[in-house]
Amino acid sequence: MAQFGNTKQCYGIVAMALHWGMAGLLAGLVVLGLYAAQLPDVGFDKTKIRLVLLHKELGILALMLAGLRLAWRVGNALPRLVEGLPEWQQVVARFVHLCLYALMFAQPVTGWVMSSAAGIPVSFFGLFYLPDLVRYDEYLFRFLLALHQWLGYALTLLVALHVGAALEHHFVLRDETLRKMLPARARTDGLSPRGRARTRPLPSAPSR
């Protein structure tokens, strides 16, 4: 039976849902943002306007989910790392996770402030409007636009590193690293003898 909370061996169903839901949402936001950015501004293209507004709404949803995910992580201990993981890899893994969390908040917040600086209210799927965080300021808008784009590139790079490391553990080292974020059946199917030998966990970092 699936556990709602995390254990020392694996993540719970809530953490899994938040992880994979955020992964899909962030991937969609990156693709949507890149596609909308390359559309022409001439004539105030209606398609571009609709996509930009959708991008903003999904960005606010991502901000809410990031807050929920952080709250859940603080209140639940992390599963232990697999045995034999070099110390430098443990440090890099923690650092990348911290950077990912920082960017999951920084990206939507800069987009929100950018919209405020442009004098464009941000709607959450027509349910309500978010308050403006700053006054109209064209210079600030252009600065935040560039910052938002570069943060997007940084987020894409970190996600690629995260995915690459997870795939290496899954297909090359064949340990439990990725399976901890998968349903119970997937965690046990196809685990090699070498992987089983590495499943005795290391002590987890204390939750903060």
Mean pLDDT, residues 89-107: 94
Measured at the alpha carbon of residue 134, what is the angle toward residues 131 and 136, in degrees to the nearest 5? 105
144-183 pLDDT per residue, tens: 999 999 999 999 999 999 999 999 999 999 999 999 999 8
Domain-wise residue ranges, the chain: 13-197
Query: Which pLDDT band, with edges at 50, 70 and 90, does 124 fall under?
Result: very high
Residue 166 class from Cβ within 10 Å (0-12 exposed, 13-18 middle, 19+ buried)? middle
**What's the CATH number for 13-197?**
1.20.950
Checking if the pLDDT of 196 tops 60, the result is no
Do the beta carbons of residue 144 and residue 164 sit within 8 Å? no
User: pLDDT at position 47, please?
Assistant: 87
Beta-strand pair 129-130/122-123: antiparallel
Checking if the pLDDT of 207 tops 50, the result is no
* Coil, strand or helix at 133: coil
1-48 pLDDT per residue, tens: 568 889 888 999 999 999 999 999 999 999 999 999 888 876 667 888
Do the beta carbons of residue 16 and residue 182 sit within 8 Å? yes
Tokens at residue 64, please? Answer: 């809410």
Checking if the pLDDT of 87 tops 70, the result is yes
In angstroms, the CA 26 to CA 22 distance is 6
Do the beta carbons of residue 155 and residue 102 sit within 8 Å? no
